[in-house]
A and B are shown apart, each in its own frame.
Chain A
Amino acid sequence: MLTADEYWNPKNETMPREKLRALQFGKLRDLCAWAEARSEFHRVRWAKAGFRAEQLRTWDDIRRIPYMTREEWMQSQDEHPPFGTLPAAPPDVAIRFHTTSGTTGRTPLRALDGLRDWEWIADCWAYGFHAMGVRPRDTVFIAFSYAQFIGFWGAHYANEKLGAMVIPSGSLPTETRVKLIVENSATVVCATPTYVLRMAEVARQMGIDVAKSAVDKIVLSGEPSGSVPAVRRQIEAAWGARVGDTAGMTEIGTIFMFECRHQPGGPHIVEDHFIEEVIDPETGRPCDYGERGERVCTSFGRGILPLIRYRTCDVVEKRPASVCPCGRTFDIYHGGIQTRTDDMHKIRGTNVYPRAIEAIVREHAEIEEFQVVLSTDAESGRDEVTVRCEMKPGLEPAWAALFPALNKELSEAHENLRFNLEHARQGELPRFELKAKRLVDKRRK
């Protein structure tokens, strides 16, 4: 069982689900005992809730464990700076320090990792790269700035671990990155969906057709649009390569799901290293397969920051592993991260989700870039939503025909809410290297 080519870890990736559950439960009990003994954060909260690790006797006992939230973690950091009371080991065992990206505008979380944590972080990414078909013969280009955001650091180490040749790109400009990819015959590109499209755009401006390059696999992370079909189609067409989505978060340090080369409509969950629950965010009721709910994560890997029943705000929909022909028994998050419970904007009584807008806009390949502006009309005091679109060079005349179609699609997808559409000039809208910030909220508070 130590060698097999389809899977990074054939023993666990094909393990019968009953055994997988037993494996998870054994780890959960050990992790809770560890956290209770070593983490003041958990010990105090659990004592208040009347939970003790020894109460975990059957799977259903997981519901005895109180949920953990980002707000509690931030509060602990504020009260006991810099790391709060969560760490289960002294900071001097850590070899690295990272923070969350700050996308949501809140105080960044501070994360620590030791030697073994980094090996584990890379290992989880390796499940994903291996599943996408990355092997030692591959040359992997990581388009990432290698700074405080933990992002693709683990992807870099994963590829070193699995024996591929890695080309790091640091803070290089996009033009240089495109050249490096083409001139060194990179076969794999790893970046956010936004930046993969941006590199293709810049390559076109340089007179380079990246679809003719050696790249045959694109591994995405960092944005939910990696599982939006229209975005994927655009990336696959631009690069002539197969796309695989992954998702992670700084709170765990690595990815918790990866898409295999069979592209079953969503990524597999790394279920031997995580317990992923899906709950009704209002009631806490466990959701069934095919039902959308909030993702709750328990990580077995990073013991220094035990993440146990952490409410992520990600909205997901679990499907059984059997929908994929790859043979893995790891369940699937259909459509990846579908949205976030904290990323919903109310416009004149209608819920507006940026990811839903992106899914519609990206169906139109003539659009190069877009921006969503929320504002308040000065006279009426009414909230407005405006989608500004920049066309691909040479395709500006198509805007006249696209305008009514796009307007109708956006409105119909949002209970007939009226959208304002604007044609932006070439190069007017911002471009992004990491996580895109396409929503601008100018509403009167």
Chain B
Amino acid sequence: MSQNDTPSPLGSGSHDTTETQPTDRLGTPLTPAETELLRIYEDLKRFVARTDLPPCASRNAKKALAAIHVAANDLDLVYEHLYDLGV
């Protein structure tokens, strides 16, 4: 196969929300560990958006979110940028 062959039209670049089972960006069902990781990521995103956090909580949570985002991105669960959250 040439390095420039066209791939099959897999992957819409977003989560498949039409199925009951959550999937990654390629439509593959999530493993239990991936499901938990994605939940932690979404929880952290919600948490860092709070405006009532003291600096020690806000900055450490943002640092944690940055690391969790990389894990979720590595496993193809999310692809997005978090600058609007200061991350």
Contact = CB atoms under 8 A, between A and B. Distances in A.
A9 B87 contact: no
Interface in B39-76: 62-63, 65-67, 69-70, 73-76
B19 interface: no
Given A2-B33, A115-B87, A286 B73 contact: no
Chain B interface mostly helix, strand, loop or mixed? loop
A119 B70 CA distance: 7
B6 A59 contact: yes
Contacts of B31: 1-2
A12 interface: yes
Interface residues of B, number: 38
Interface in A47-98: 58-60, 88-90, 93
Contacts of B7: 17-18, 21-22, 25, 59
Contacts of B9: 22, 58
B3 A331 contact: yes
Given A27-B13, A27-B79, A289 B74 contact: no
Contacts of A286: 3-4
A9 B8 CA distance: 23
Interface in B19-50: 25-26, 31, 33-34
A116 interface: yes
Contact of B74 (A9, A27, A29, A278): A9
A89 B26 contact: no
B3 A22 contact: no
A303 interface: yes
Contacts of A300: 79
A23 B28 CA distance: 12
B18 interface: no
A287 B2 CA distance: 9
A150 interface: no
A120 B3 contact: no
Nearest to B27: A22
Interface in A294-337: 300, 303-304, 318, 320, 331
Contacts of A119: 66-67, 69-70
Interface string A29-40: 110001000000
A133 interface: no
A303 B65 CA distance: 16
Name which of B3, B9, B80, B86 has the most chain A CB atoms within 10 A of its CB. B3
Top 9 closest pairs, chain A to chain B, by CB? A21-B7, A26-B13, A22-B10, A89-B83, A303-B81, A22-B11, A116-B66, A26-B11, A115-B66
Interface of A: 1-2, 9, 11-12, 17-19, 21-23, 25-27, 29-30, 34, 58-60, 88-90, 93, 114-116, 118-120, 123, 272, 277-278, 286-289, 300, 303-304, 318, 320, 331
Interface of B: 1-14, 25-26, 31, 33-34, 62-63, 65-67, 69-70, 73-76, 79-84, 86-87
8 contacts: A9-B75, A23-B76, A26-B26, A26-B79, A58-B6, A116-B82, A278-B3, A289-B2
